[in-house]
Each structure stands twice: as C-alpha cells, then as structure tokens.
Amino acid sequence: MILVSLAWCAHGLVGPTVWHHHRINLRQSATIESSSSDGSSSRLSRGEVASKLNRALEEQSPHKPLEPISRYAVYIRELWRANETRSAHDCCAPPRSTSLRSRATTGVGLGIVFTAWIFSSDAAFALGMAAQAIVAQLEYFRMAIASGAAPARRIVVCSSLAMLYAACYAPSLHELVFPLAGTWIMLWFLLMRPNCSSINDISTTLMGLFYTAYLPSWWVRLRCAPAWETAVPPFHVHPFLSYLVVDPAKLSTAVAVWWTCLGVAVSDIGAYFGGKRFGTRSLKSIGLGAAAKASPNKTLEGALSGFAASAAVATLGAAAMRWPYWPLAGPLYGLLVSMVALVGDLTASMLKRDGDVKDFGDLLPGHGGLLDRLDGFIFVPPLAYCLLPKLLPA
C-alpha cells in the first residue's frame, strides 16, 4: 500500500500540466442569468461564476472539505449540463494554480483508495469501476459536445452499467454487450431523433462506449471473473467480510492487478523524469509524427525511461508472485504494459488536441479530470487478461 501510494503521489506531481499549449476549462457553459439587488438581470459568463465558486471553496476552512460524495454528485450534474455549451472558447475561466502540497495530497489519497478498491469484494470493485466509467465518459462527451457532436449519452451510460455487470457476474455474455449496445444506439438514432444524425454523432457515441466503458470493463473481467481459478484458497474470511474484501480464491488475481496498475503509474513517472533529465529527441525524430503533434513534450528518452521503470516494477512483482521464469517474464510483461499505457496516454492527448482542451475536467485537485488520470490504464486490461493466466503459477 505504501508503495502504490508513493507511486500515485509522484504520478500526481508530474500531472497533466506540461503536455499541451493552453488550458480550456469546460466546466463553464455559455452564460447564465443572475439577478441584482435592484431587480435587474445581468448576464455573467460561466468563467466569472466559476472563479467566484473557486474563491468560495478556497475560503472554506481546511477542516471542512467538500464531501467526496457530494463533490462527485455535483460534478456529474455539471458534466450532464454539457449540452448547454455552445463553444468551448466562449466559456473559458483562468486556470487555477495548484500547490505542490495539494497535488501530493491528492496523489497519496488516490494510491490508498485504489489499493483498498482493488482488494475489495467483487461487487465493490464493479461499482467502483462503474462510478469511474460514468465520470470518464461524461467528461469525454462534454468535450465532444463542445466540438459540435450530439452523442446518445443516456444509452451509453445504461449500456456501460450492463457491460460492467456482465463482466462481473456473467462473463460468458460480456463480449456480447458491446454489439447489442451498438444496435440499441442505432435504433435510438433512427427512431427517437427527429432529424438524421451525423457521422460525428454516431462515431462519437460508439467511441465513448468503447473507450470509456468496454475497454475498462476488462479490469472487472480480469479482477472479478478471471480466466483461471485458485484451487485452494490461501485463507478464509467471515461471511460478513465477503461483502467487503476480496474472495480469498481470487487473491492472486487481485495482487496481479495491483502490480499491473502500479506498473502503469510508475511508467508515467519514469517517462516524465527521464524525459526531463535526458530528453533530447522528440517522437517526431523517429517518425511518429501524429504522436509528436498530439503530445509535443514527449521524447524518445522519456518513453524509454518509462519502459525501464515499468519493467523494473514488474520484475519485482513477478518475483513476489513467484512467476515461472520471473527474471524473463517480469521485464517483458512490464515492457508490454508500459507500451500499451503509452498508447492510452497518447490517445487521450490526441483527443484533447482535437478538442482544443488541456484537461478533460477538474474533478481531482491538481490533476484535472478523472480521464486525465486514468488514460494510461484504459488499453491495458485486455493485454493483462491475455497474459496473466499464462504467467501466474498454477
């Protein structure tokens, strides 16, 4: 737990503050009406309202922070109002500066919460993933709406919940949810909307379901319904605790998931510090033009540093889990995880570059939106699901 907390802390310190050229805060929509004391109404920009809200939150006593559940609910409601946004550029607020202490505190908190979540019960793990998936897809859709798309958000949210439930409790049906949801989405576009939807509307909707729900649902499939089983549980728990903590028969799976997530976080840390210290060649210099434009600050040396950091952590994990041939299997697994995590990072950068935003949101102090923090984890679970059954000891 200490190790993953420190990793998440550093992951927060190297947060998304250096990857793009400017910030657009999509928290604001176009304008709102407010009444003055003399009864007249004035139109205030969302940027002005957000600035006042930020100052009010900062003036609150440090001993009375906004409750996490309330903040989550407010943030969801705020994301859902994205259809009021006419233009991302018309509703910008000045970026809030965040202290090193704030970002470190958030990073440590994320590490502790993620560790507890990974070793929780199947139901708690699936519910936690659902909470994250809904926020991530609404952050993605808010950016898309500001860019002119009109996605079918309600169907995507419902399909995501069905997908996560199937991944946890009906794994044999898990792969069927995505094509069935695609059919449902097209029926909605054809029958429920008064006008023909554009390619942008349809592709944005399907991408939102695939990117923020289907791919992450493999974490649930991996953690709650793995492709292998432990013959003899290493220990037993009280029936009441089975609703709170991981099933002992799946403990090895939870440990493998924990080490995999740690490898993703450490990969990002290594890439940042390695690039800052040794980086001289951009990704464009090795022929990766699109990746270089999506994230101009990334360097070849940074990427190699991230690969090395993830390989080192995976080697430690492989030795701790007693993988067969762990001196070889560990580094190779860490290298593959880091490479796929980089694909997720660059994919998010490309989406934000096209949407002309720096962050997907502002849920996490000093980190941006939830999708900004989890982009490296999105493409990893299918790879882990394929490899871990062959790597873990029988």
Q: Does the structure show a pLDDT above 70 at 247?
A: yes
At 363, the pLDDT band (50, 70, 90 cuts) reads: confident
Section 289-312 average pLDDT: 93
Reported as a single tens digit per residue, the pLDDT across 14-71 is: 554 333 333 334 334 333 333 333 444 444 444 454 454 445 444 444 444 456 778 8
Section 92-106 average pLDDT: 57
Rounded distance between C-alpha atoms, residue 56 and residue 67, angstroms: 15
Q: Residue 303 corresponds to which tokens in the numbers above? A: 């990427």
At 99, the pLDDT band (50, 70, 90 cuts) reads: low
109 alpha-carbon distance from chain centroid: 16
Tell me if 386 sits within 8 A of 50, measured CB to CB: no
Torsion of CA 358, 363, 364, 368, to 10 degrees: 0
Section 282-308 average pLDDT: 90
Residue 125, CA distances (Å) to 28, 110, 372 in order: 32, 15, 21
Reported as a single tens digit per residue, the pLDDT across 315-341 is: 999 999 999 999 999 999 999 999 999
Torsion of CA 118, 121, 123, 127, to 10 degrees: -30
pTM, full prediction: 0.79
